[in-house]
Structure 1
Amino acid sequence: MADPASSKTLDVLAECQEVAADSARLACFDAAARQIASARKSGSLLALDRATVVASKQQRFGLADAAKNPLGGGEADQLTRVTEVKTTITGVTPSTYARFLIQLANNTVWETIEPLTLPPRPGTAVIIKQSGFGGFKASIAGERPVLVKRRR
């Protein structure tokens, strides 16, 4: 039985496997392929690969609307959920009160919320994880985790 949330267009393809005669099965697959190509061309069928979805979620990680479920909040969203980003620091700019703006290799900018005694160094590994109450913590190369917020 097909998943009720699945695309009926793709279900036709799966049904072709049940056709016994070779020529009829080939005709079924050809018709299904034309239907899928037509649906993609018209925009009524969207096909996304998991790697593209995860990369997009990683790029939006930490932004205010990043928690929205682009895939409807079902199993697909759970399977592509991003709760941390591992990258390196590419630049550091002093902010206010011993805080810093940290540019990362993934083209995002984060600001430390907690003051730091020394500025982080470019080239240093960083892991940013979700913390309690919707916040984020950055672990910078073995230092204690510090609260951060995404700037852009």
Structure 2
Amino acid sequence: MDGAASRLACYERQTAILEDAERRSEIAVVDTRAEQQRRRAAFGAKVSDEARASSTLAEIKTTLVSATPGGAGLLVFALADGARWIQVDDAPIPGRLRPGSAVVVKRTMLGGYKMTIDSRPAFKVRRL
């Protein structure tokens, strides 16, 4: 067998193995861009422990749409990605919050979340 025929035979064997594994649900083909968008949309949402453990996002970066008073004097934040978060601690947030401000929401070590708006100190939040 010449080199080209040998390569083709090898390719065909490997393709058959891959197709068989896909049929048995041992592997899956995933659109990485769609998966990244799914993970970003689910960041902070209430999900099962298994789903939370499989999430690889440590933070999201977006912008502030609005900050409105919620119950008990805490603020509710609407973000450009469509997510809504509520402050869950009583940390003061200095200065006036303006639409378009840079927002970073980070996962904490114990499974909570902290939000930073522009260069202000971080405060605890929960996704609504």
- Report how far residue 84 of structure 1 moved: 0.8
- Report how far residue 111 of structure 1 moved: 0.5
In the TM superposition, 1:1-152 aligns within 5 A as: 21-33=3-15, 36=18, 40=22, 42=23, 44=25, 45-65=27-47, 68-69=50-51, 81-115=56-90, 116=92, 120-151=97-128
Deviation by residue 1:58-117 (Cα, 9 ceiling, x = unmatched): 2211123265258xx7xxx5xx71111111112333212321211112221100113446
The residue identity in structure 1 corresponding to 2:39 is K
Other structure's SS at 1:134 match: coil
Deviates more, 1:96-105 or 1:115-124: 115-124
- Report how far residue 55 of structure 1 moved: 3.0
Flag the 1:132–1:31 CA change in 2: closer, same or farther, 3 A.
Answer: closer
Which structure 1 residue ranges, 5 or more long, are not aligned?
A: 1-18
Matches of 1:113 and 1:46, distance apart in 2: 39
Matches of 1:132 and 1:24, distance apart in 2: 52
Q: Which runs of 4+ in 1 moved over 6 A?
A: none
Other structure's SS at 1:62 match: coil
- Report how far residue 34 of structure 1 moved: 5.4
- RMSD across aligned positions (CA): 3.1
Flag the 1:51–1:38 CA change in 2: closer, same or farther, 3 A.
Answer: same
Instruction: State the TM-score, normalized to the length of structure 1.
Output: 0.64
CA contact (8 A) 1:135 1:149 kept: yes
Count of aligned positions: 125
The residue identity in structure 1 corresponding to 2:57 is V
Deviation by residue 1:12-62 (Cα, 9 ceiling, x = unmatched): xxxxxxx9732132133135335545765x573411254443332222111
Which structure 2 residue ranges, 5 or more long, are not aligned?
A: none
Deviates more, 1:84-93 or 1:111-120: 111-120
Percent identity between the aligned chains? 24
More RCO (CA 8 Å, sep 6+): 2
Give the strand-richer structure, 1 or 2: 2
Instruction: State the TM-score, normalized to the length of structure 2.
Output: 0.74
